[in-house]
Structure 1
Amino acid sequence: MAQRLTHRLRTAFLLAVAVLAACAGIVLVSGQAAVVITHGVSMNPVYHQGDLVIVARASSYSVGEIAAYSLPGKDEVALHRIIGGNGEAFVFKGDNNQSVDPLSPRGEDLVGRALLHIPQGGLWLEILTSPPVLGLTTFVLLAGGSAAVTTRHRRKRRRAAVSRHISTRPAQHQVLDGLPSALRISAALGAVLALMGVTLGVLAWSGPAEEASTAQVKSGTRMDFSYTAAVGQSPAYDGTTAHSPDPVFRKLTNTVDVHFTYHGDPGTVTVRAELSTPGGWHSSLPLTGPVTFTANDYDGSVRLDLATLEAKAQAASAVTGLPSGPLSIALTPQVTSTTGTEFQPELKLNLTPLQLALTGAPDTLTVTDTTTTQQATMVPRMIAWNGVGISAATAQVVSAVLLLAALAIAVILVIVARRTAPADEAAAIRRRYASLLVRVQPMPAPQGRPLIDVTTFPTLAKLAERYGLLVLHWNRSGVETFIVQDENITYRYRAGSDPVPAEQPSELADIQP
Structure 2
Amino acid sequence: MASRLTHRLTSVLLMAVAVLVAVAGIVLVSGQAAIVITHGVSMNPVYHQGDLVMVTRAPSYSVGEIAAYNLPDEDEVALHRITDGNAENGFIFKGDNNQSVDPLRPRGDELVGRAVLHIPQGGLWLKTLTSPPVLGVLAFALLTGGSAAAATRRRRKKRRLAVSRHTTTPAAPSLTFGGLPSSLRVSVGIGSALAILGVVLGVPAWSGPLDERGASQIKNDQRMDFSYTADVGQSAAYDGTTANSPDPVFRKVADTVDVHFTYFGERGTVNVTADLSTPAGWRSSVPLTGPDAFTESDYNGTVTLDLKALEAKAQAASAVTGTPAGPLSITVTPQITTAGGALFRPGLKLNLTPLQLTLNDGTTGLSVAGSSTTDQPVTTQRMLGLNGMTISAAVARFISAVLLLAALAVLVVVLVFARRAAPADEAAAIRRRYAALLVRVHPMPAPHGRPVIDVTTFPTLAKLAERYGLLVLHWSRSGVETFVVQDENITYRYRAGSEHVPAEPEPVMQAQP
1:13 aligned residue: 16
Q: 1:319 to 1:56 in 2, by over 3 A?
A: closer
The answer (yes or no) to whether the contact 1:162–1:436 under 8 Å persists in 2 is: no
Of the three residues 382, 398, 408, the one matched with 1:400 is: 398
1:34 aligns with 2:51: yes
The secondary structure found in structure 1 opposite 2:220 is coil
d(CA) in 1 for partners of 2:484, 2:50: 68
1:199 aligns with 2:189: no
1:172 aligns with 2:157: no
State the number of aligned residues: 381
1:263 aligns with 2:265: yes
1:161 aligned residue: 170
1:320 aligned residue: 318
d(CA) in 2 for partners of 1:445, 1:239: 134
Of the three residues 95, 99, 103, the one matched with 1:102 is: 99
1:250 aligns with 2:249: yes
2:300 aligned residue: 300
Q: 1:378 to 1:356 in 2, by over 3 A?
A: same
d(CA) in 2 for partners of 1:55, 1:194: 42
Q: 1:402 to 1:218 in 2, by over 3 A?
A: closer
AA in 1 matched with 2:351? N
d(CA) in 2 for partners of 1:475, 1:176: 25
Cα distance, 1:346 vs. partner?
Answer: 2.7
d(CA) in 2 for partners of 1:242, 1:431: 111
Query: How does the TM-score come out when normalised to structure 1?
Result: 0.52
Cα distance, 1:224 vs. partner?
Answer: 1.9
The answer (yes or no) to whether the contact 2:198–2:403 under 8 Å persists in 1 is: no
Of the three residues 408, 413, 416, the one matched with 1:415 is: 413
2:126 aligned residue: none
AA in 2 matched with 1:401? I
The secondary structure found in structure 2 opposite 1:444 is coil
d(CA) in 2 for partners of 1:410, 1:351: 86
AA in 1 matched with 2:406? A
2:367 aligned residue: 365
The answer (yes or no) to whether the contact 1:273–1:286 under 8 Å persists in 2 is: yes
Cα distance, 1:329 vs. partner?
Answer: 2.0
Superposed counterparts of 1:432-447, under 5 Å? 434=433, 438-446=437-445
2:116 aligned residue: 118
AA in 1 matched with 2:330? I
The secondary structure found in structure 2 opposite 1:443 is coil
The secondary structure found in structure 1 opposite 2:199 is helix
Q: Report Cα offsets for 1:86-126 as digits up to 9, x if no partner.
A: xxxxx9626xx9xx942799xxxxxxx9976238x79xx9x
Q: 1:491 to 1:385 in 2, by over 3 A?
A: closer
Cα distance, 1:202 vs. partner?
Answer: 1.7
d(CA) in 1 for partners of 2:481, 2:68: 63
Superposed counterparts of 1:107-506, under 5 Å? 117-118=115-116, 160-161=169-170, 171-175=176-180, 177-179=182-184, 184=186, 187-209=188-210, 217=217, 220=220, 222-227=222-227, 229=229, 247-250=246-249, 255-264=257-266, 266-293=267-294, 295=295, 297-305=297-305, 308-310=306-308, 312-314=310-312, 316-317=314-315, 320=318, 325-337=326-338, 342-351=343-352, 353-359=355-361, 362=364, 365-369=367-371, 382-384=383-385, 388-390=388-390, 394-408=392-406, 410-412=408-410, 414-415=412-413, 418-419=416-417, 421-422=420-421, 429-430=428-429, 434=433, 438-446=437-445, 465=457, 482-483=481-482
Q: 1:47 to 1:194 in 2, by over 3 A?
A: farther
Cα distance, 1:357 vs. partner?
Answer: 1.5
Cα distance, 1:10 vs. partner?
Answer: 5.3
Q: Report Cα offsets for 1:231-250 as digits up to 9, x if no partner.
A: 9999999999987xx61232
Q: Report Cα offsets for 1:442-478 as digits up to 9, x if no partner.
A: 22343999xxxxxxxxxxxxx95499767967699xx
AA in 1 matched with 2:51? A
Q: Report Cα offsets for 1:379-410 as digits up to 9, x if no partner.
A: 66554466x2425xx14413421441453355
**Aligned-pair Cα RMSD in Å:** 6.4
Q: 1:285 to 1:438 in 2, by over 3 A?
A: same
1:152 aligned residue: none
d(CA) in 1 for partners of 2:496, 2:365: 104
d(CA) in 2 for partners of 1:115, 1:193: 36
Q: 1:219 to 1:400 in 2, by over 3 A?
A: closer
Cα distance, 1:272 vs. partner?
Answer: 1.7
Q: 1:239 to 1:414 in 2, by over 3 A?
A: farther
Q: 1:466 to 1:383 in 2, by over 3 A?
A: closer
Q: Report Cα offsets for 1:247-304 as digits up to 9, x if no partner.
A: 123259764442131523x5432212122333444443322232233x3634031133
d(CA) in 2 for partners of 1:417, 1:281: 94
AA in 2 matched with 1:430? A
2:465 aligned residue: none
AA in 2 matched with 1:299? Y
Q: Report Cα offsets for 1:135-171 as digits up to 9, x if no partner.
A: xxxxxxxxxxxxxxxxxxxxxxxx94369xxxxxx94
The secondary structure found in structure 2 opposite 1:286 is strand
d(CA) in 1 for partners of 2:494, 2:215: 83
Cα distance, 1:66 vs. partner?
Answer: 2.5
AA in 2 matched with 1:390? T
AA in 1 matched with 2:402? L
The secondary structure found in structure 2 opposite 1:220 is strand
d(CA) in 2 for partners of 1:431, 1:28: 59
The answer (yes or no) to whether the contact 2:318–2:325 under 8 Å persists in 1 is: no
Query: How does the TM-score come out when normalised to structure 2?
Result: 0.52
